[in-house]
Homo-oligomer: A and B are copies of this chain.
């Protein structure tokens, strides 16, 4: 194909079309610009370009450019283990921030971990294990500076539900635990694979709205489950019976103290007083300590208040041999792991992106996935279950002034000490306190504000959000997830099947043509219909686009007939938004051209983009409609077409 530049072609001035062209009029020597035909690209280059945009859109290799080989090796190592990059500039002042943040999130995570393990139907120590090894590994490999790693509520619930469908944890606790490790292993493999093959964009297919709905649904489910299954109801009942029979003042105190803490913490969080971040952050630990103390001295457990009873002391034992690498549970573990891994990834990446954007640093999503994947693979061999970034703890981490992932190391060390030294002290912790902590955490996942915004911005998104929400609440987490994904996909498919089209009119005193529905002042040009197609024309919409354009024409002709004005002689298709066209699209354009020919309407194209021009040439469509029917702008098309029309029949 010839390599033409956007050269110009002069033509005679036409005064009789002043209405259509104020710019051309005022200059006395107007130009009609030719549509540029981009240089033909080499096939390999073209493919390489597509691959790059698809898999390396964030240009991760930018820093490797023009570097000597030894430097490149260092960079690769630093890319895999960012700790060796930021560690070199690490300072005492940074450590101060990290220390405070680490201690704060540790105080928050210990009671949460014990509660979350119960959500996954595991013994409490597995929650603590998962706050020891994974944060350490993440600190070495992760690039987010603000994320706090550990078990999280939604993933724990999901894992618990899915595992329970396969094995009853009360009947067969050994195999249940083994399946949990197997799922964790495959969750890690899934995350690693997605990151390594730079397929991270796949998680973008779960829309924000669907996630909001899913999270809210999971939160409600968790809260209800805690209310029903743990002892809050029994605490309330004993509080009630105490009021009637007197004397059981301990449970009343327990019930009241955690409720008070919950409300205070919420209130302070709600006011967003950043300085007071530590109040809600240490409230859980304080309530655990206090309630444990009270139960211990009053032996409230003998009066019907259920307690944790036993946490195994000591750090994570190895679980490499526990993972099912064969047998009937392998497939189940794989399936559950893929699901849990994806959800965990969604949460971690969302958190990572949020804080990276707030502190304005770059985050390579795919590298994060590799880090998280490696982390979970190692975790599965050290008695942890799926860990990921926690919304609540990451926010506290950020507010407490963390500077690097070192805060995760601090947290991990505190958890280590807890495991080695003070686990026996948790024996008398009432389950009711753990339940209340979980409820106070998950309740903030019900993001009413986000839902309201979604309702305002996009009704279809709201349907997706509510679909996921009610799916989780009234059916199960899997069904909710399935609904969320399905609606997200349906939206994408709808988007590509039914692109928007608009009839354009001229905005007075400009050479600009805009949607007449948006700009009521815009006027149509007599005898010319201008239609803009707002999407690439692909097989999925080519037929619709053709028929929609013909319908616009039919509507217009009907209107003109009613007011007995002359019919349409030119149909200008404004192609600016048409970024691409495929073979089906070209066929549709050919059919449109033939249909218009039979109606004595001439087809004119305005501003086709580089790819479209390329393909119009490849298919010889430009010869079919005539090269002189393709213009740079709608205005150019109109000044050329208008004088050729005989408006008086």
Chain B residues, Cβ within 8 Å of A53 = 498
Does A475 reach chain B (CB closer than 8 Å)?
no
Query: Which of A261-269, A380-388, A581-589 forms contacts with chain B?
Result: A581-589
Closest residue of B by beta carbon distance from A209 = B583
Asked if residues B23 and A583 are in contact (CB atoms below 8 Å), the reply is: no
A49 to chain B, nearest CB (A): 11
Instruction: Name 5 A/B residue pairs within 8 A (Cβ), A-sorted.
Output: A6-B514, A58-B547, A205-B540, A457-B582, A495-B496
Chain B residues, Cβ within 8 Å of A494 = 54
Closest residue of B by beta carbon distance from A458 = B582
Within 8 A of B (CB), among A585-617: 586-587, 591, 594-595, 598, 607, 609-611, 613, 615
Asked if residues A512 and B33 are in contact (CB atoms below 8 Å), the reply is: yes
Query: Which of A314-322, A516-524, A565-573 forms contacts with chain B?
Result: A516-524
Q: In the complex, which range does the number of interface residues on chain A fall in?
A: 35 or more
Evaluate whether A539 and B204 lie within 8 angstroms (CB atoms) in the complex, with A33-B507, A595-B357 already known.
yes
Does A515 reach chain B (CB closer than 8 Å)?
yes
Chain B residues, Cβ within 8 Å of A495 = 496, 536, 538, 580
> In whole angstroms, how far apart are the Cα atoms of A59 and B554 in the complex?
11
Does A557 reach chain B (CB closer than 8 Å)?
no
Query: Which of A87-95, A148-156, A413-421, A485-493 forms contacts with chain B?
Result: A485-493
Asked if residues B577 and A6 are in contact (CB atoms below 8 Å), the reply is: no
Of B454, B492, B517, the residue contacting A493 (CB under 8 A) is B492
Contact surface of A with B, Cβ cutoff 8 Å: 5-8, 23, 26-27, 31, 33, 36-38, 43, 46-47, 50, 53-54, 57-59, 201, 204-209, 353, 357-358, 360, 365, 450, 453-454, 456-461, 488, 491-500, 502, 507, 509-512, 514-515, 517-522, 534-536, 538-544, 547-548, 551, 576-577, 579-584, 586-587, 591, 594-595, 598, 607, 609-611, 613, 615, 618-619, 632-633
| Count of this chain's copies in the oligomeric assembly | 2
Asked if residues A520 and B357 are in contact (CB atoms below 8 Å), the reply is: no
> In whole angstroms, how far apart are the Cα atoms of A542 and B50 in the complex?
18
Chain B residues, Cβ within 8 Å of A520 = 5-6, 36
A568 to chain B, nearest CB (A): 16
Chain B residues, Cβ within 8 Å of A595 = 357, 360
Chain B residues, Cβ within 8 Å of A548 = 57
Asked if residues B498 and A632 are in contact (CB atoms below 8 Å), the reply is: no
Chain B residues, Cβ within 8 Å of A611 = 500
Chain B residues, Cβ within 8 Å of A58 = 547, 551
Chain B residues, Cβ within 8 Å of A206 = 539
Asked if residues B201 and A619 are in contact (CB atoms below 8 Å), the reply is: no
A37 to chain B, nearest CB (A): 8
Of B6, B454, B613, the residue contacting A522 (CB under 8 A) is B6
Closest residue of B by beta carbon distance from A200 = B543
Closest residue of B by beta carbon distance from A497 = B201
Residue from A47, A357, A365, A633 whose CB has the most chain B CB atoms within 10 Å: A357
Chain B residues, Cβ within 8 Å of A47 = 459
Asked if residues B591 and A357 are in contact (CB atoms below 8 Å), the reply is: yes
Chain B residues, Cβ within 8 Å of A461 = 582-583
Evaluate whether A512 and B632 lie within 8 angstroms (CB atoms) in the complex, with A579-B535, A610-B518 already known.
yes
Asked if residues B538 and A633 are in contact (CB atoms below 8 Å), the reply is: no
Asked if residues B534 and A458 are in contact (CB atoms below 8 Å), the reply is: no
Asked if residues B457 and A493 are in contact (CB atoms below 8 Å), the reply is: no
Asked if residues B619 and A498 are in contact (CB atoms below 8 Å), the reply is: no
> In whole angstroms, how far apart are the Cα atoms of A644 and B37 in the complex?
35
Asked if residues A580 and B500 are in contact (CB atoms below 8 Å), the reply is: yes
A70 to chain B, nearest CB (A): 24
Chain B residues, Cβ within 8 Å of A518 = 6, 36-38, 609-610, 613
A640 to chain B, nearest CB (A): 15
A142 to chain B, nearest CB (A): 18
Residue from A5, A538, A618 whose CB has the most chain B CB atoms within 10 Å: A538
Of B360, B453, B607, the residue contacting A619 (CB under 8 A) is B453
> In whole angstroms, how far apart are the Cα atoms of A540 and B208 in the complex?
9
Evaluate whether A205 and B493 lie within 8 angstroms (CB atoms) in the complex, with A457-B583, A544-B57, A577-B579 already known.
yes
Chain B residues, Cβ within 8 Å of A46 = 459
Asked if residues B496 and A584 are in contact (CB atoms below 8 Å), the reply is: no
Chain B residues, Cβ within 8 Å of A8 = 509
Closest residue of B by beta carbon distance from A548 = B57
> In whole angstroms, how far apart are the Cα atoms of A537 and B498 in the complex?
15
A469 to chain B, nearest CB (A): 15
Chain B residues, Cβ within 8 Å of A579 = 499-500, 534-535, 577
A453 to chain B, nearest CB (A): 6
Asked if residues A454 and B38 are in contact (CB atoms below 8 Å), the reply is: no
Of B43, B512, B517, B538, the residue contacting A610 (CB under 8 A) is B517
A377 to chain B, nearest CB (A): 26
